[in-house]
Chains A and B, each alone.
Chain A
Amino acid sequence: MPALLFVEQVLNGLQFGVMLFLMAAGLTLVFGIMRLINLAHGSFYMVGAYLCALAAGASGSFLLGLLAGLAGAALVGAAVEFLVIRRLYDRDHLDQVLATFGLILFFNELVKILFGPRPLLLDPPALLSGAVELLPGLPYPAYRLAIIGVGIAVALGLYLLIRHSRLGMIIRAGATHREIVAALGVNIRLVYTLVFGLGALLAGLAGAMIGPLLSVQIGMGEEILILTFVVIVIGGIGSIKGALVGALLVGVTDTLARVLLPLAFGAFLEPSAAAGVAASLASMMIYIVMALVLVWRPHGLFPAEGA
């Protein structure tokens, strides 16, 4: 394969990984701190994408749409925490799975009732709609570069927030010693709502950012949710660093498997058979990687402290 094409495919893998990171960061925070399995995380992704598409469609500005998607997802997240999730912290994981699965169905139906079953249009901002010549002979969609940039910025921001801010300190302490933190006079319930809202905000950001690439439609959250769980299992549940490494690993593995396996099989099978076998194997690759990582490190690459 030509070197330039390989570079482009690695970039594609990074971009996909960055999207997964935005989803995985929120999910892993919520699990790490509150011990809560939240299947409805994908619904916030959908909410972010829908609000962004609607606001961008109404105002003509993608930026306004993005803000609406972020604010809306965070608010919906905080409201869901206040109304539903609070009742689940002390119950076992099966109850949490059942309740948050119910939330998925609720949000899917609500979106259908409010906005209809048809996918919505969301275009990238005009500034980022074309391709940029990264190297001579390597044009790359500007919008995908922007996604990579946003993802890196969010990763840095989260690092600063968790490691170097007062809120981050409370969050970290709450994850390992929640009774003591509460005894010290910190309103731990408020911290939980904030963290849950932050997770929803990141999911909403992912949804709004991905809208111009994919289709904004009902059920979009479930497609990415499964991959997100793979990411946090690989990375180590509760660890932001693990989420970042796991997401990039999954993104690059998935992309390169789709590209390289057909070439490998094409060497000794006829094209049509090679395409079929390679496609089947490529869609298994990330699960194979997950299994290998778990054999090597049963708690994931970077298990969170105290987990």
Chain B
Amino acid sequence: MTTKLLAGAALAAATICGAVQAAEPVKIGMITTLSGGGSSLGVDVRDGFMLAVEQEGGTLGGQAVEVLIEDDARKPEKAKSIATRFQKSDRVDIMTGIIWSNLAMAVVPQVTRAGVFYVSPNAGPSALAGKGCHENYFNVAWQNDNLHEAMGEYMKAEGFKKPFILAPNYPAGKDSLTGFKRFYQGAPLAEVYTKLGQKDYAAEIAQIRASGADSVFFFLPGGMGIAFLKQYGQSGVGLPVFGPAFSFDQGILQAVGDAALGVINTSQWNKDLDNAANKQFVAAFQTKYGRLPSLYASQGYDAARLIASALEAVGGEVSKADDFREALKAADFESVRGDFAFGANHHPIQDIYVRKVVREAPVLTNQTLGVALKDHRDAYAADCKL
């Protein structure tokens, strides 16, 4: 009798607790780039994320969520101060949203150490995948090197002998060329780092012309890539160019114009990937926002769907940190990119595809050609002590 009574009380208490939990929404802090240069990336991540929230009627995994969105204007110090406010005064449970690796390095170690969960929808610096990995840090997009590694593999297989490789001088740029060389294996003909935010590439293009290269690999995200491709097109150099998806993505292809047509690029996602989650996502995104989703939108959407799966598993009780962490790690959601799992360091194990820029009148977009790397993991997992 006593046991029964106690069990009943416990049940009642649990129910009350549950009710309290349900009344108190899970707080998610999103720090992303919504103004100034590079804002189209942050807008896409936000729109993808909020689409998932809206599809569930303001909940994720059946749990009410409150998403606080702040603009970092691409400035590390601003991102850091927003993160501190989210952490100390808003007391958010989960953070997400950062686009740029230098901003991620300023924010992620601090907040994860303080016990906040961070789900990265984009930036995946190598420092956070290897020695600096953390049990509360999950990257749902890629480790920075991944798409470049796939292109190194592709260009090696296609028999290019003298690539000229080019990236900006910042953490993700270094990761990019390192990743490319890891899979290309041979030495590139020349390796050039440019200033982050540089827009005039005349000097580099003249070097490419004079170098005797047989191909160009570049990683120049955002407006830098638009500028490079337009100037490259006008220069008449004409060597084949290759790159990761970032400079051939839906958000910027229209601004690059025909200079991008036919270019081969690598990506973990494309709008034509044949799975139910993706078809539904592409259609819903177009209906809601009136444009085709980009790579970044797909990553924002997946970040929300991952969080939803974990919230559902723990019934919204993020305070049970160990359970929530296990639930995130299980990655029990239908990713729009198809098969998806986390490696030991909480970075994706996924296929990386080869795509080609095509015209589907009136817009430019990408078509999937095949898989460059199957079930690919990042190179830093071995250094991670998780």
- Do these two chains really belong together in a complex? yes
Please give the residue numbers on chain A whose beta carbons come within 8 Å of chain B beta carbons, in ascending order.
2, 4-5, 8-9, 12-13, 15-16, 105, 108-109, 112, 117-121, 123-124, 129-131, 139, 141-144, 212-220, 222-223, 255, 258-259, 262, 271-272, 275-276, 278-280, 282-283
A residues in contact with B200, CB < 8 Å: 12, 16, 213-214
Say yes or no: B236 contacts A131, CB within 8 Å.
yes
Nearest Cβ on chain A to B260's Cβ, whole angstroms? 11
Nearest Cβ on chain A to B91's Cβ, whole angstroms? 29
Cβ 8 A contact of B191, one of A117, A271, A282: A271
Say yes or no: B202 contacts A118, CB within 8 Å.
no
Q: A283 with B169: in contact, given A119-B255, A220-B223 (CB under 8 Å)?
A: yes
Nearest Cβ on chain B to A12's Cβ, whole angstroms? 4
Q: A215 with B255: in contact, given A119-B40, A276-B193 (CB under 8 Å)?
A: yes
* Complex A-B: 22 CB contacts under 8 Å: A4-B210, A8-B206, A12-B200, A15-B202, A105-B35, A108-B35, A119-B255, A130-B234, A131-B234, A131-B235, A139-B209, A142-B234, A213-B234, A214-B199, A217-B255, A222-B37, A258-B194, A271-B190, A275-B193, A279-B194, A279-B195, A283-B195
B residues in contact with A117, CB < 8 Å: 34, 39-40, 43
| Contact of B203 with A by CB under 8 A | yes
Say yes or no: B39 contacts A12, CB within 8 Å.
no
Docked pose: A72 CA to B84 CA in angstroms: 42
B364 to chain A: closest residue by CB? A121
Say yes or no: A275 contacts B35, CB within 8 Å.
no
What are the interface flags for B231-269 relative to A under an 8 Å C-beta threshold, 1 for contact and 0 otherwise?
A: 100111000000000000001101111000000000000
Docked pose: A76 CA to B75 CA in angstroms: 29
Interface residues of B in 149-163 (CB under 8 A from A): none
Dominant SS at the B interface?
A: helix
- Tally of B interface residues using CB under 8 Å: 43
Give the residue among B36, B210, B236, B252 with the most A Cβ atoms within 10 A. Answer: B36
Q: A108 with B227: in contact, given A119-B255, A141-B235, A255-B203 (CB under 8 Å)?
A: no
| Contact of B174 with A by CB under 8 A | yes
Say yes or no: A214 contacts B227, CB within 8 Å.
yes
Docked pose: A275 CA to B252 CA in angstroms: 28
A residues in contact with B193, CB < 8 Å: 275-276, 278-279
B residues in contact with A278, CB < 8 Å: 193
Docked pose: A157 CA to B287 CA in angstroms: 52
Extra inter-chain contacts (20) besides given A119-B223, A212-B230, A220-B37, CB under 8 Å: A2-B210, A9-B206, A12-B200, A108-B36, A118-B254, A119-B40, A123-B257, A144-B234, A214-B200, A215-B226, A215-B255, A217-B223, A218-B36, A223-B37, A258-B194, A258-B204, A259-B203, A271-B191, A275-B192, A276-B169
B210 to chain A: closest residue by CB? A5
| Contact of B197 with A by CB under 8 A | yes
Docked pose: A123 CA to B223 CA in angstroms: 15
Nearest Cβ on chain A to B36's Cβ, whole angstroms? 4
Dominant SS at the A interface?
A: helix
A251 to chain B: closest residue by CB? B200
| Contact of B207 with A by CB under 8 A | yes
Say yes or no: B174 contacts A276, CB within 8 Å.
yes
Say yes or no: B223 contacts A213, CB within 8 Å.
no
A residues in contact with B169, CB < 8 Å: 276, 279-280, 283
B residues in contact with A13, CB < 8 Å: 203
Say yes or no: A214 contacts B191, CB within 8 Å.
no
B residues in contact with A8, CB < 8 Å: 206
Cβ 8 A contact of A258, one of B177, B203, B210, B251: B203
B residues in contact with A130, CB < 8 Å: 234, 236
